[in-house]
């Protein structure tokens, strides 16, 4: 059996062939560490399940936009899903192709539309009539015809955290299901747009297949209605959102998930005599468990009601616990014998919400390095400079080699763009 990308050897955590303790000593903490082998394995779980079928995989850049991470996927021939002009620039810099990139998001600026049209993106996922009007005008100015897909809101409960649920009537995303046919007719009538598909994304950290199938069934029913109006649908974009294991979740196997969704869509196509390409847009399930955040214990602080382990990482480095009350497994990089008191793992940021883990039993001392697991998705990309804290460094481990994927920021860099008032 192949050794897991993250494993222990004589009580010390390793990332592939490199000790996490050595990484912390050489590059400092807080430190994001990614495993190329884990990224590649997750990619192939999707790609292999799509092999021989009319299906393509587009990496959701918002989950982790580091150039080295994106480059791993670009070298595998991945497509990409972006939500900003900045993310398009990252895809191109990482070796990805605009022609295999889908542009999603609810609030595209005209400059972003121009950039994407001139680069030649594969498709715009559009979410409202006003956005259609804007894209039509921008494409007309450039003498181009923009390929569009409408993101339809199927009003399906993804059974996930409300902040990452996107497919309900109350969410800001997508065209209302009951208004979709009329919106498609409007899009088809615009001279500088070309309708090519339909899009649906119901949320994130979804651990069941059933919500996907419910959404697919509603979308397929809608596709039949749209095509009866004379508008042809060439692809179905089922979005991303498949969950990972942070604690005790049991998400479906990636390959099983992909095959189940494809089987449902292909069965409908067999009945209607029409086959369509299917797009998957995974993010978290590609990168989430391919990364960890290393942090050093600064102080152990006993309290009247709680014990605190104060570490050098904080809510500005990993926002998910403070934002979603999200759980991340936390473990010592080097195991220590002895008692394991219960600690809240907190950072130095001046906020009571600055915590990374609560009520964790750990045998640790000041100076020990902790590994925060499952930090590859929505970790560094959501980090900030709150309290004028430079953002962490990022490294990629490839076997026994270590590549500095992003250098640690400095305070001087943070101040560089600011100016005092004149005399």
Cα 58 to Cα 65: distance, rounded to the nearest angstrom? 13
User: Whole-angstrom Cα distance, residue 259 to residue 324?
Assistant: 31
The reply to whether 221 sits in an annotated binding site is no
Q: What is the rounded distance in angstroms from the CA atom of residue 141 to the CA atom of residue 137?
A: 6
Is 27 annotated in a binding site? The answer is no
Distance between CA 359 and CA 337 in Å, rounded? 19
- Residue whose pair of structure tokens reads 């480095």 in the numeric block: 317
Catalytic residue among 50, 123, 200, 350: 350
Per the annotation, does 241 bind a ligand?
yes
Contact 166, 204 (CB under 8 A): yes
141 in a known ligand binding site: no
114 among annotated binding-site residues: no
Going by C-beta distance under 8 Å and a sequence separation of 6 or more, which residues neighbour residue 396? 33, 34, 35, 36, 68, 69, 72, 402, 403, 405
The answer on whether 365 is annotated among ligand-binding residues is: no
- 324: annotated binding-site residue? yes
Please give the helix or strand (H or E) that residue 417 lies within, else none.
none
Give the three-class secondary structure for 124.
Answer: strand
State which H helix or E strand residue 18 sits in. Answer: strand 18-19
Q: Judge whether 350 counts as a catalytic residue.
A: yes
Report DSSP letters for 251-270, one per residue: PPPHHHHHHHHHHHHHHHHH
**CA dist 14 → 117, 245, 337, 389 (Å):** 44, 19, 19, 28
Known binding-site residue numbers for substrate: 284, 320, 324, 351, 378
Which residues are annotated as catalytic?
350
State the binding site: 241, 281-284, 320, 324, 351, 378
Q: Which residues are annotated as a binding site for pyridoxal 5'-phosphate?
A: 241, 281-284, 378
């Amino acid at each position: 059996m192949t050794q897991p990308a993250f494993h222990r050897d004589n009580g010390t955590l390793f990332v592939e062939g490199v000790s996490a303790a050595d990484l912390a000593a050489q590059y400092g903490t807080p430190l994001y560490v990614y495993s190329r082998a884990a990224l590649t394995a997750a990619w192939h779980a999707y790609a292999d399940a799509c092999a021989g079928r009319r299906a393509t995989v587009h990496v959701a850049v918002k989950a982790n936009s580091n150039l080295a991470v994106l480059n791993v996927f670009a070298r595998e021939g991945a497509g990409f899903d972006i939500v900003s002009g900045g993310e398009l620039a990252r895809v191109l810099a990482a070796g990805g192709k605009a022609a295999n990139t889908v542009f999603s998001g609810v609030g595209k600026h005209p400059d972003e539309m121009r950039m994407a049209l001139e680069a030649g993106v594969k498709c715009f996922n559009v979410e409202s009539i006003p956005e259609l009007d804007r894209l039509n005008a921008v494409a007309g100015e450039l003498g181009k015809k923009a390929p569009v897909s409408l993101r339809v809101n199927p009003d399906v409960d993804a059974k996930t955290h409300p902040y990452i649920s996107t497919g309900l009537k109350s969410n800001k995303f997508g065209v209302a299901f009951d208004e979709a046919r009329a919106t498609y007719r409007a899009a088809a009538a615009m001279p500088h747009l070309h309708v090519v598909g339909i899009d649906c994304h119901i949320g994130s950290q979804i651990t069941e297949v059933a919500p996907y199938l419910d959404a697919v069934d509603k979308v397929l029913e809608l596709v039949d209605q749209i095509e009866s109006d004379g508008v042809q649908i060439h692809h179905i974009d089922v979005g991303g959102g498949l969950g990972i294991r942070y604690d005790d979740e049991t998400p479906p196997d990636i390959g099983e998930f992909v095959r189940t969704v494809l089987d449902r869509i292909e069965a409908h196509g067999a009945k209607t005599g029409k086959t369509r390409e299917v797009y998957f847009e995974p993010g978290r399930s590609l990168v989430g468990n391919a990364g960890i955040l290393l942090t050093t214990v600064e102080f152990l602080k006993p309290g009247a009601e709680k014990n605190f382990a104060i570490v050098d990482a904080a809510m500005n480095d990993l926002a998910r616990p403070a934002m979603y009350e999200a759980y991340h497994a936390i473990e010592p990089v080097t195991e220590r014998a002895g008692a394991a008191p219960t600690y809240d793992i907190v950072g130095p940021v001046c906020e009571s919400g600055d915590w990374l883990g609560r009520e964790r039993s750990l045998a640790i001392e000041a100076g020990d390095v902790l590994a925060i697991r499952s930090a590859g998705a929505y970790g560094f990309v959501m980090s900030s400079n709150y309290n004028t804290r430079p953002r962490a460094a990022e490294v990629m481990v490839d076997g026994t080699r270590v590549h500095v994927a992003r250098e640690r920021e400095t305070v001087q860099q943070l101040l560089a763009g600011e100016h005092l008032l004149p005399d």
